[in-house]
Amino acid sequence: MNTCDCHHKTDVRFSDYYSENILTWCTNCGNYGIQAAIKRALVAENIPPCRTLLCFDVGCHGNGADKIGGYRFHGIHGRVLAFACGASVANRKIKVIAFGGDGGTLGEGINHLVSAIRGNYDITFVLHNNLNYGLTTGQASATTKSGIKMNSSPDGVTSDPIHVMNFVFSLNPSFVARTFSGDVKHMSGIFQESIKHNGFSFIEVLQSCPSYNHMTPHQWYQSRVKDVTQMSGYNFRDIKAARQAAEDLEVQIAIGVLYQNSKSVPFMQRQANRLKVSGDLVDEVKVFPTEKLFDTFR
Ligand code: SF4
């Protein structure tokens, strides 16, 4: 039984996250698997829709925002982390899970990613890394490989891509994982671990985009990914080893929980002015007499 105090008095079911809206992604898009995996993780962790907030950035993945039940937010491009972190600070009783693409997260919104990791806000963030802007029909993003011809770069991309994990590890993260959109079971297991983490969980999903990412299709990833639990002596508490394992993106791509800091202290537990306060900010807003505030402007 979950501890929800609303109408959910029984174990959470898949049907609790049902939406009558129909998914519209391209055939064989990796987003289908990711959306299924997140539902699976929420059900497995017995988290009802009234106790979670799913935040979507703009991008192909964001078109799933109204195709799943529960509380959802669909933000402006690259800004989903700013909203999600704010929501988690305001109400610590809910699980906040945010989704962003490589375009919005590592292009327009990269400053928010830096802030979220450094602040160690207590949320899960899922990066849908399909190596391009799929929604705008195959533009090169910050992770598109150099030399690849995209619709916006017909002569080939001329910049080197950002190495996602090198960038993330440089910010001293508290939880880092990588998974693959072709393996729903693996993804949901990773999502479950991230939900339980105390602090900011960064998850890179290597996502297939059959319409515009022809450089690394589903089968390309499938033949290269290897979970770190199958690597002899791997220690997910060792950040240097994790960074090293995450380096290779061509031959053997490490997936799984790459790193977790057991001593992670989330943002709100480091705010001295909140440590003796039992309630949440959202409760204080509820009773705040706004008319008095407005009176000050009269
Ligand atoms: Fe999926 Fe790519 Fe189609 Fe977007 S363009 S829906 S990411 S396959």
CA–centroid distance, residue 110 to ligand 1 (Å): 22
* Residue 16 falls inside a structural domain: yes
Atom of ligand 1 nearest to the CA of 31: 1
* Residue 1 falls inside a structural domain: no
Q: What is the CATH number of the domain that holds 192?
A: 3.40.50.970
CA-to-CA distance for 195 and 122, rounded, in angstroms? 9
3-state helix, strand, coil in the chain (%, to 5): 35, 15, 45
CA–centroid distance, residue 268 to ligand 1 (Å): 36
CA-to-CA distance for 19 and 68, rounded, in angstroms? 5
Residue nearest to atom 5 of ligand 1 (CA): 134
Residues spanned by the domain of 273: 7-295
Helices of type H across the chain? 30-44, 80-90, 102-103, 110-119, 164-169, 184-196, 218-222, 239-247, 281-287, 290-295
pLDDT computed for residue 290 by the predictor: 78
pLDDT computed for residue 7 by the predictor: 60
* Residue 2 falls inside a structural domain: no
Number of compact structural domains in the chain: 1
Residue nearest to atom 2 of ligand 1 (CA): 209
* Residue 207 falls inside a structural domain: yes
CB 25 within 8 A of CB 209: no
pLDDT computed for residue 36 by the predictor: 97
* Residue 234 falls inside a structural domain: yes
pTM: 0.94
CB contact burial 3-25 (16+ within 10 A = b; e otherwise): ebeeebeeebeeebbeeeeeeeb
Q: Does the Cβ of 256 fall within 6 Å of ligand 1?
A: no
Q: What is the pLDDT along the chain (298 residues), one digit of tens a residue?
A: 344 555 666 799 999 999 999 999 999 999 999 999 999 999 999 999 999 999 999 999 999 999 999 999 998 999 999 999 999 999 999 999 999 999 999 999 999 999 999 999 999 999 999 999 999 999 999 999 999 999 999 999 999 999 999 999 999 999 999 999 999 999 999 999 999 999 999 999 999 999 999 999 999 999 999 999 999 999 999 999 999 999 999 999 999 999 999 999 999 999 999 999 989 999 888 777 778 888 888 8
* Residue 205 falls inside a structural domain: yes
Mutate to test the pocket of ligand 1, among 60, 206, 218 (most ligand atoms within 8 A of CB): 60
Between the alpha carbon of residue 207 and those of residues 90, 253, 263, the distances in Å are 31, 13, 30
Between the alpha carbon of residue 228 and those of residues 45, 77, 122, 233, the distances in Å are 23, 33, 24, 9
CA-to-CA distance for 147 and 142, rounded, in angstroms? 13
